[in-house]
Amino acid sequence: MGVVSGHLAPPSPASVPGVAGRDGAGWTARLRALARAVLAPTPAAMRRLALAGIVISILIILSGAAVRLSQSGLGCADWPRCSAHNLTAGGDRGVPLVHQWVEFGNRLVTIAIFVIAVLVSVAAWQFRPAPGAGRRRDLVWLAAAQPGFIVVQAVVGGIVVLTKLDPVWVSVHFLASMALVAAAVALYVRCQEDTGPARPLVPRLVQGFALGVVAAVALMMTAGTVVTGTGPLAGAADVPRYPLPQAGVTQLHADLGWFLGALLAGLIISMRLTAAPPRAVRLGWLLAGLILAQGVVGYAQYFSGLPAGLVWVHETGAACIWLTALFLPFALRERAALPAPAAAPARAGG
């Protein structure tokens, strides 16, 4: 201890036994735990990693939407570099620095997300649901799809930049994100189940309704990319647009929303009549609430002149609707759960 102005000075962390290096030891322990979860995942660890895959797939959608709606689509006018002479954002290129960093930041987020997707894939490759069990090929393929789709997104993103935000390629870029979310959801569900055949919990007609809802959501989101690619928030001020009437494509998108609502109403009624599992019914009502809120936001943004912030909220709602719709068909059938891990044998004399 030292003396400061006549008072005892508090001890420094380095002078206290057990405190020095504690932060470093904590990070080391966390990294070891992550390594164990990836290289020797338990069923619980595999489930958490699969959930992380869902989270990152949603982040890709929201990050890409932020780039487009902030008019930063050409903030980095080259690919894979930010510009012909700079790898990162910066420099006087006639583009506002904020647009450069928004676009370049999105690229950095994609790299980080790719690393997480690779870790999920390694975990699925290493995963054994029980001692002596073999590798789950279904999980391996679903997990491998995640870094695969991110690579596709990166390549398509490069084409988007090099074609100066051609709206067709921008739409394809978004559709790849939808496919990534679908693969992540399937992995999350399947890693908690055994490999036996699925048993339907409702009549096939009800299952067909649920699949129809998923298809309708996919169609409505595809139409949404056309609406955005036709209007003023296509990614930058002076970029190509779809040569379509803005009012017409917006009306089509709204009509698809009404069709989806009617289809979902039929699904909820049929689930109530056939005593569907409570979880499926709850998902149905949650989806109905999300669609209603999405409709309110959609009409509000249209009549308020498409403010970018409100459009971003609309895209966030679309991602939530897609995620909820994907879970619905899985809730209408069941497979046996993975066997519980065997308890560790008691120590002799303990």
Residues 47, 137, single domain; the answer is yes
Q: Global pTM?
A: 0.84
Could you read off the pLDDT of 86-98 as tens digits, one per residue? 777 776 666 777 8
Residues 84, 204, single domain; the answer is no
Would you say residue 138 lies in a domain?
Answer: yes
Would you say residue 1 lies in a domain?
Answer: no
Residues 217, 182, single domain; the answer is no
Output the CA angle 230-235-237, nearest 5 degrees: 85
Q: Which domain holds residue 98?
A: 37-192
User: Which of 123, 157, 192 is the endpoint of a domain?
Assistant: 192
Query: In the structure, what pLDDT confidence band is assigned to residue 3 with cuts at 50, 70 and 90?
Result: very low
Residues 60, 156, single domain; the answer is yes
Would you say residue 139 lies in a domain?
Answer: yes
Residue 264 near residue 288, CB atoms below 8 Å:
yes
Tokens for 333? 């059938």
Residues 184, 253, single domain; the answer is no
Residues 182, 215, single domain; the answer is no
Could you read off the pLDDT of 318-334 as tens digits, one per residue? 999 999 999 999 999 98
Residue 115 near residue 100, CB atoms below 8 Å:
no
User: Does residue 80 have a cis bond before it (omega within 30 degrees)?
Assistant: yes
Residues 178, 49, single domain; the answer is yes
Would you say residue 24 lies in a domain?
Answer: no
Residues 244, 101, single domain; the answer is no
Q: How many domains does the chain have?
A: 2
Residues 64, 180, single domain; the answer is yes
On the CB side of 33, CA atoms within 13 Å amount to: 9
User: Which of 192, 227, 262 is the endpoint of a domain?
Assistant: 192
Residues 186, 261, single domain; the answer is no
Q: Provide the 8-state DSSP code for 307.
A: -
The three-state secondary structure class of 306 is coil
Residues 64, 149, single domain; the answer is yes
Residues 291, 307, single domain; the answer is yes
Query: In the structure, what pLDDT confidence band is assigned to residue 235 with cuts at 50, 70 and 90?
Result: low
pLDDT of residue 4: 45
Beta-strand relationship, 199-200 and 3-4: unpaired
Residue 65 near residue 320, CB atoms below 8 Å:
no
Q: How far apart are CA 56 and CA 72, in angstroms?
A: 21
Would you say residue 187 lies in a domain?
Answer: yes
Higher pLDDT, 342 or 59: 59
Mean pLDDT value across residues 277-298: 94
Would you say residue 26 lies in a domain?
Answer: no
Could you read off the pLDDT of 61-82 as tens digits, one per residue? 888 888 888 877 777 777 777 7
Percent of the chain past pLDDT 70, that is, above it, reads: 87
User: Which of 131, 161, 192 is the endpoint of a domain?
Assistant: 192
Residue 262 near residue 289, CB atoms below 8 Å:
no
